[in-house]
Amino acid sequence: MRPNDLPLYELSAMLSSGELSSEHLTMCCLETADRTDDSVGAFLTLCRDDALRSAREADRLISSGKGMALTGIPFAIKDNICTEGIRTTCASKLLSGYIPPYSATAVRSLENVCAVMLGKTNMDEFGMGSSCENSAFRPVQNPIAPGRVPGGSSGGSAAAVASGMACFALGSDTGGSVRQPAAFCSVVGLKPTYGRVSRYGLVPFASSMDTIGPITRDVRSNAIVFEAISGHDPMDMTSSSEAAETVSGSLDNSDIRGLRIAIPDMGATGTGLSECVEKAVLDAASVFESLGAKCVETVLPFDIRTLAAYYAISAAEASSNLARFDGIRYGSDAPQNGELDVRQFRSLGFGTEVQRRIILGTYVLSSGYGRDLYSKSLSRREYVRSAFRAAFSEYDLILSPVTPDPPPPLGRFKASPSEMYYQDVFTVPANLAGLPAISVPAGRDSSSGLPVGIQLTAPHFAESLLYRAAYLFEKEISDGKSRK
């Protein structure tokens, strides 16, 4: 087995003991990218020389006894998270040459412990999409299900981890963009509580819902990265002052006996549900009950009305946030015939999906019918928040699908954008309410062999509970496989 296929907590122990060097591990990741990324398309920028320099510095730090859990571990960053001196394109032609003068707080947190940044990963342009086919540069292929989408918009990050090109990655999640690709690529993805991880340096899509989250091969590794990037940041006015948690070290003592877990009525979404996805959730419920939890079906706001409210609000915020990209301050100049033509610049710079959402958002914010739609969407958001408050007064966790379907073939979402939007029905409620949620692999469909994930959602700032339950589930199904 290649070292870059191991969980990062095992790699950390091997680095600490001297069994493995960060330089060798980094070379393994880069060689894997050289062999496979032409077909996968996970990276937009690879920083080979910088990564190897950082790896050698990490080895020196470890040999002096000053290494930490992530010291020397190679990782990737979604290309809408700013990196000082390294281009950050948001997978858009409009920002193809943009180089930020600063790094995001989450990136600095990883640099401070001398983790090794490999490069920037591909994504749906400005985070708008659920397939990673809306990149201005190239689509991303699912590395474990060739010919299928990897999910989006953090599909490049998930594909890099799933294929061994990176030991972990950062993504962003506005309506499911960490959790959905994690499910499609059979890795673990966390959307933290809103405000738990700083948004400073994250190029905004919908500011009231954007979050940065880790993508890893397993639950314990995910908790280690979460611990490193979470915490209060005075540079982000939405950053929470809630005390940071240490989770990873206590996972082996996890116990969920007596927990009450709610399951939504999966037939009430209004979008349809694949049989294999429903089976995965019901099988997961059986696993949790075997561990001493009690699973109960109840009414929850996973439905098409919540989905519609999300798209109205997120498009409105995107329309406002993307107004800054006018050809004056960012991006390459469009042909201007001697004058700056903002409309021409934006029509040439933005892709089809981004234009679609800007137009929708502009309509939602317009006077008359549009404003009425926005007001109704905000009311629905308040309903979602109150529904979750009521649910968590009675239940400890919510178990649901991540998406209604396993990963579809490449091209399907391009031909049917509405089908792409329907895939978000189980993920957007957590963003509207600001709740933490985690996607965990639940095996593969027995007939198609496609990966399926489950989602756990918890009350605000209850990431430790999420990790404990997810860890026990992961361990149980892994033990089950080893017994077969």
Question: Per-residue pLDDT averaged across 320-339, rounded?
Answer: 69
Active site residue 153: yes
| pLDDT at residue 188, as a whole number | 98
Q: Using the structure block, give the residue that is written with the tokens 């954007």.
A: 210
Question: Per-residue pLDDT averaged across 34-40, rounded?
Answer: 98
| Mean residue pLDDT across the chain | 94
pTM of the model: 0.96
* 357-374 exposure pattern, b = at least 16 Cβ within 10 A, e = fewer: bbebbbbbbeeeebeebb
Look up residue 200 and give its two tokens: 């400073």
| pLDDT at residue 481, as a whole number | 65
| pLDDT at residue 332, as a whole number | 57
- Write down the catalytic residue from 12, 22, 54, 78: 78
pLDDT at position 343 over 70: no
Question: Per-residue pLDDT averaged across 371-390, rounded?
Answer: 95
- Tens-digit pLDDT profile for residues 109-121: 999 999 999 999 9
Rounded to 5°, the CA angle 191-234-109 comes to 55
- Write down the catalytic residue from 177, 198, 248, 254: 177
Instruction: Report the top-level CATH class of 3-236.
Output: alpha beta
For residues 402 and 416, what is the distance between their CA atoms, to the nearest angstrom? 20
Active site residue 279: no
Question: Per-residue pLDDT averaged across 299-327, rounded?
Answer: 94
What percent of the chain is modeled with pLDDT above 90? 87
Which pLDDT band, with edges at 50, 70 and 90, does 337 fall under? low
| pLDDT at residue 270, as a whole number | 82
Residues in contact with 213: Cβ distance below 8 Å, sequence separation at least 6, in sequence order: 170, 171, 172, 173, 178, 189, 190, 191, 192, 197, 226
Do the Cβ atoms of 170 and 158 come closer than 8 Å? no
- Tens-digit pLDDT profile for residues 120-152: 999 999 999 999 999 999 999 999 999 999 999
Question: Per-residue pLDDT averaged across 219-245, rounded?
Answer: 95
Q: Which H or E run includes 211?
A: strand 211-216
- Sorted by where each begins, the domain ranges of the chain are 3-236
| pLDDT at residue 1, as a whole number | 79
| pLDDT at residue 349, as a whole number | 84
- Tens-digit pLDDT profile for residues 95-105: 998 999 999 99
Do the Cβ atoms of 121 and 77 come closer than 8 Å? yes
Which pLDDT band, with edges at 50, 70 and 90, does 483 fall under? very low
- Write down the catalytic residue from 21, 22, 153, 439: 153
192 vs 343, residue with greater confidence:
192
| pLDDT at residue 154, as a whole number | 98
Active site residue 439: no
Look up residue 450 and give its two tokens: 């496609």
Q: What is the DSSP string of 368-414?
A: THHHHHHHHHHHHHHHHHHHHHHHHTT-SEEEEESSSSSPPBTTHHH
- Tens-digit pLDDT profile for residues 381-431: 999 999 999 999 999 999 999 999 999 999 998 888 899 999 999 999 999
Which pLDDT band, with edges at 50, 70 and 90, does 210 fall under? very high
pLDDT at position 303 over 80: yes
